[in-house]
Amino acid sequence: MPRSKRILVTGGSGFLGSFLCESLLRDGHDVLCVDNFQTGSRANIRHLLGNPNFELLRHDVTVPLFVEVEEIFNLACPASPKAYQTNPVKTVKTSVLGAINLLELARRTNAKILQASTSEVYGDPVVHPQPEAYWGNVNTIGPRSCYDEGKRCAETLFFDYERQLGLEIRVARIFNTYGPRMSRDDGRVVSNFIVQALRGEPITLYGAGEQTRSFCYVSDLIEGLRLLMDAPGSAPKPVNLGNPVEFTIRELAELVIELTGSKAPLVHRPLPKDDPTQRKPDISRAEEVLGWAPRIALREGLGHTIAYFDGLLSGRSPAPETEQALAPPGFVLQAGRPGAGRAGGNGLDRSE
Ligand code: NAD
Ligand code: UDP
C-alpha cells in the first residue's frame, strides 16, 4: 500500500470527481474535496461525509485557496456544453483563474498538480485520430470557445509554471467519459439518450447523427488519472485518456434503444454550432507511458449506466450512494499496477 497522502480534488462533487475521491479514499489517502456545487451534487459525495479521511469545502476555485496538500487534481469546471455555455464568462474564469490559483497553491506547498484537460483542445479536428502532438482546430469566438480556450490557456499556464518555476505537473486530455452520477439533465449525449429512452421520450439526434465520439467508462478513466498522477515526472506530457473505439451518435442511440428495450422514436434536432464532426483519441502515449488502456466496452458500460438511471428515475434508489453507482462488479483499482485487478476483457472492441 502506498504512503497515505493529503490530496486535494477540486470539482470533487462532480461526476468524475466523486469517483476519484472514492478511489483515493479506498487507497487510504486523506481527501479534501473542494467544490462550488455549480454542476456537482451533494448526493454524489454524501456517502463519503462520514469517512474520517474525507473533508468537504465549499469554495470557488476562482478565489485563492490556502490549505496544506501534497497532490492536487484540478477537475473544477463544468464539462457539459449546456452547463459551460450557461455562463461562458464564468467558465473562462474557472479554467484560467482556477488554474492560476491552484498552480500558486502547488507552488506554495510544493505539491504535484494534475489538470483535467480535454479533447476539446483539439476543437473540430482535421487530424484523425488525435495524437497529443496535434495543435487542434479551435474557433476562438464561438459558443464552445469559453470552454476550449479556457482549457487551452490552463494547459499553457501549467506548462509555463513547469518551465518557469519548476512545478511538477501532469496534464490529462480527457475524451468523452460517461457513467453513473452524470447529471440527468446536463445535456450530455449519454445521459440524454438514456433518460429519454427510459422515459419513452423521443431521442434527440443533433444533425444527422453521423458525427462521431469515442466513449470511455468512468472506472477506466479514473484508473488512467491515478496512473498519470503517479507516473514519473520525466514522462512525456500531456496524455490523452479515452476509449479509442469510435461510434457515430446514431449508433450510440441505436445501442441505447436496444439495451433499454425502449420504443422511443429517434428525432432530429439542429446540430449545435461548432459541434466537432469526429473525435477519437490516439492513446499510444498512455499505453506506453502508463501501461493503460480502457477495458470496459461501450455495451457493458452503458449497461451499468442504464441501471443507475433506471434506479434514479424510478425512485427505487436514491442512487449516487448505492452500490449500483459504484465501479462495475469485479473492478478493483490498483494504482501503479496497470493491467491488474479487473475482471473481464478489454474495452477495445466494436462488437456492439
Ligand atoms: P461535472 O460538471 O460533473 O463536474 C465538475 C465539478 O466542478 C462540479 O462538481 C462543479 O460543481 C465543480 N465546479 C465547477 N466550477 C467550479 C468552480 N469555479 N469552483 C469550484 N468547483 C467548480 O463534470 P465532469 O464530467 O465530472 O468533469 C470533471 C472535469 O473533467 C472537468 O474539468 C472537465 O472539463 C473534465 N473533462 C470531463 C470530460 C467528460 O467526458 N466527463 C471530458 C473532458 C474533460
Ligand atoms: N448530441 C445529440 N443529442 C443529444 C446530445 C448530444 O445528438 O441529445 C450530440 C452532440 O451534438 C455531439 C455529441 O452528441 O455531437 C456529444 O455531445 P456531448 O454534449 O455529450 O459532448 P461533446 O463531445 O459535444 O462535448
Separation CA 308–CA 99 (nearest Å) = 33
Helix (H, G, I), strand (E, B) or coil at 201: coil
> For residue range 225-273, what is the model confidence (pLDDT) as tens digits?
999 999 998 888 999 999 999 999 999 999 999 999 999 999 999 999 9
* Omega of the bond leading into 129 within 30 degrees of 0 (cis): yes
Q: Please give the pLDDT value at position 348.
A: 78
Is 147 catalytic? The answer is yes
CB 174 within 8 A of CB 118: yes
Residue to mutate, 16, 33, 146, 222, ligand 1, most ligand atoms under 8 Å from C-beta: 16
Q: Please give the pLDDT value at position 322.
A: 39
Question: Nearest residue CA, atom 3 of ligand 2?
Answer: 205
Counting atoms of ligand 2 from 1, which one is nearest the CA of 187?
Answer: 5
Question: Nearest residue CA, atom 17 of ligand 2?
Answer: 189
Question: Nearest residue CA, atom 23 of ligand 1?
Answer: 79
Options 84, 147, 217, 308, the catalytic residue: 147
Q: Please give the pLDDT value at position 316.
A: 77
pTM of the shown model: 0.94
Q: Which ligand is nearest to the CA of 210?
A: 2
- Residue 275 Cβ inside 6 Å of ligand 2? The answer reads yes
Question: CB under 8 Å to 302, separation ≥6 — which residues?
Answer: 178, 190, 194, 255, 256, 259
Q: Which ligand is nearest to the CA of 96?
A: 1
Question: CB under 8 Å to 6, separation ≥6 — which residues?
Answer: 29, 30, 32, 68, 69, 70, 71
Counting atoms of ligand 2 from 1, which one is nearest the CA of 82?
Answer: 19
Separation CA 30–CA 210 (nearest Å) = 45
Q: Please give the pLDDT value at position 351.
A: 58
Residue to mutate, 86, 124, 139, 189, ligand 2, most ligand atoms under 8 Å from C-beta: 189
How many angstroms does the Cα of residue 186 sit away from the middle of ligand 1? 12
**Could you say which residues of the chain have pLDDT below 70?**
1, 317-345, 351-352
Q: Which ligand is nearest to the CA of 183?
A: 1
Question: Nearest residue CA, atom 21 of ligand 1?
Answer: 35
Q: Please give the pLDDT value at position 1.
A: 62
Query: Domain boundaries in the chain?
Result: 6-327
Extract the C-alpha cell encoding 302: 452503458
CB 169 within 8 A of CB 158: yes
Q: Which CATH class is domain 6-327?
A: alpha beta
